[in-house]
Chain A
Amino acid sequence: MEINQLQDICNQVRRDIVRMVHGVQSGHPGGSLGCTEFLVSLYFNRLRHRAPIFSMDGLGEDLFFLSNGHISPVFYSVLARSGYFEEAELASFRKINSRLQGHPTTAEHLPGVRIASGSLGQGLSVGIGAALAKKQNGDPYLVYTLHGDGELQEGQIWEAVMYAAANQVDNLIATVDWNGQQIDGSTKEVCDLGNLPAKFQAFGWEVVHVEQGNSVEAILNGLEDCVSKTGQGKPVVLLLNTIMGHGVDFMMGSHAWHGIAPNDEQLASALAQNPETLEDY
């Protein structure tokens, strides 16, 4: 898919995100907007998947696991826009009897979701397990995971980072949404992550660093670089510098919009900045 087509999808996904969060006055718009370009690039250009067909085992296709489950709005929008379920269902986000739970779950059998996430730090281990199963099954496809940068403060992440390198889990591409923000403030203030590229390198990972993490073109190049590094005995991490709230000017770069919803006026402003490209749900 061409870059301008992907950018059009990004605009629509951003509209979906702010409308979903506004519709229920609840949810996490900041990180969702910041990861829009990444997830659109992944799902519409890089991931070899069989949407709209969904099978839990995912044999013979690439798999994606969202470890930072709170950015469910962008995940749901991208899954719907990929064809896993009807866009109209996005309106049920976080409401009673919905398959679109606050945090993603398999319990409601929403196509495209293979693990529950929300309690942070667990998705890398799950991704490693799925990658090992692919090796066990002789399945040459890849496993992708996405993590928040604040999530790296969880100890389980580093258990998994150590294991994946020690055991040559080289069919795995983990992406870190490195926006420098978490709920209580900047990651620097809360618990400084330090030199992330050096840390992953020291653990034995291949590191790809994309500084323009909201540029579709830069993301595609970074993903291509990551894929070229798979199969060579090392796990691969994509460190993606993104801007929290990207695409909505008053949300950009602040942790304040981590987990609050826009009011009517703010919604109108956000939508005006992101013209409808596909049809609104």
Chain B
Amino acid sequence: MSSILNQFPFTEKKDTRSGFGAALTKLGETNPKVVALTADLAGSLKMNEFAKQFPDRFYQIGIAEANMMGIAAGMTIGGLIPFTGTFANFSTGRVYDQIRQSIAYSQKNVKICASHAGLTLGEDGATHQILEDIGMMRMLPNMTVICPADYNETYAATLAIAEHDGPVYLRFGRPSWPVFMDQTRFPFVLGKANVLVEGSDVTIIATGHMVWKAIEAAEILRERGVHAEVINIHTIKPLDEEAVLASVQKTGCVVTAEEHNMFGGLGEAVARVLSLNYPAPQEFIAVNDTFGESGTPTELLTKYGLDTPQMVAAAETAVRRKTTK
């Protein structure tokens, strides 16, 4: 076993949505203000245990996401903390105006919890594989945007956002994924990036499922003599600009990695920070402004350029650009 992967041992794979479901049940026990709403996707969002244990605080809205967002906004007026659960597609694009007016502009304490984001949704195909949601939600004033990397981090993030006063978009997914974010070593603190691997040649800034791919890429790069620093950005907004700048000032170049369109997401958020403060070569691991398609998560990540080998290549390109610019 090699050195970097050894630092992130994992014995199991779990879906991030299950981290959300488990934490929601925990919140049911610890915070009587927390209520849960779903639009006919309680099973997919792993909310059934909450519904079973706290039936009086669980609201089945039916297939009516716009109504769900409005109801959630109204519930905050009585001091409740509503967590809405549906697919990322139906949590954002379908209800953008409801979120914009009734939640973000109205400054309502609603937690928009969104599963099945990105390509790794898999076989359902492009209608459900939203790749624009981070961009849409980032653009809303007052909105916090979080995309955790694994089960543990999703669990911790779900608990944390209940304590945060204000609207939050929490993005997670469907596939089984390595569970590697040890919360004692890398605790989830809203708005604080976690440097997982230290390096001096290139910074890889990743979010969500791409964080594990970044660790794999760093391993391969190390074998080739390139020392990559890996940063897990779970909070995309507000972005931990200090962490980004501190790392890139050290390494001189950056690769951003996200399961999202190359427009509007983490990559552009990082590019803005760098262009204002410390211009540096940047490569983007993201979907090339296209819709997805049906396939397995692995097939899709490979076909759309989001797998480990492409991340390694992007890092090598970024390093080259430091000297050829």
Contacts and interface: CB of A to CB of B under 8 A. Distances in A.
A129 B62 CA distance: 15
Interface stretch (A11-19, A27-35, A154-162): A154-162
B105 A136 contact: no
Contacts of A159: 62, 64, 66-67
B77 A156 contact: no
Interface stretch (A45-53, A88-96, A110-118): A110-118
Interface in B67-96: 67-80, 82
Tell me the interface secondary structure of chain B in the complex.
Answer: helix
Contacts of B62: 159, 162-163, 166
Interface size grouping (class) on chain A: 35 or more
A130 interface: yes
Interface string B275-304: 000000000000000000000000000000
Interface stretch (A54-62, A186-194, A229-237, A266-274): A54-62
B60 to A, nearest CB: 9
B35 interface: yes
A136 B74 CA distance: 12
A116 B102 CA distance: 6
Contact of B77 (A63, A118, A123, A125): A63
A162 B102 CA distance: 20
Nearest to A124: B70
A105 B100 CA distance: 12
A133 B78 contact: yes
Given A63-B77, A105-B106, A125 B57 contact: no
A127 interface: yes
A125 B66 contact: yes
Contacts of B31: none
A168 interface: no
A129 B70 contact: yes
B226 interface: no
A139 interface: yes
B102 A136 contact: no
B101 A116 contact: yes
A134 interface: yes
B177 interface: no
Nearest to B97: A119
B78 A130 contact: yes
Contacts of B70: 122-126, 128-129, 156, 160
Given A105-B106, A137-B79, A162-B62, A129 B98 contact: no
A59 B76 CA distance: 12
B61 interface: yes
A132 B71 contact: yes
A58 to B, nearest CB: 6
Nearest to A143: B74
Interface string B25-64: 0000000000100000000000000000000110101101
Contact of B73 (A57, A107, A115, A155): A115
Given A58-B78, A130-B77, A132-B59, A106 B107 contact: yes
B78 A139 contact: yes
A53 to B, nearest CB: 16
Given A122-B70, A136-B57, A159-B67, A129 B77 contact: yes
A160 B72 CA distance: 12
With a 10 A CB-CB cut-off, give which of B64, B71, B98 has the most chain A CB atoms.
B71
A125 B69 contact: yes
A123 B98 CA distance: 10
B105 A133 contact: no
A160 B64 CA distance: 8
B101 A119 contact: yes
Contacts of A139: 78
Contact of B80 (A58, A106, A128, A136): A136
Contacts of A134: 78
Given A132-B71, A156-B70, A114 B77 contact: yes
A125 B80 CA distance: 15
Given A115-B77, A137-B78, A160-B64, 15 more contacts: A57-B77, A58-B78, A114-B77, A115-B106, A117-B101, A126-B73, A129-B73, A130-B77, A130-B78, A132-B75, A133-B77, A136-B75, A137-B79, A156-B70, A159-B64
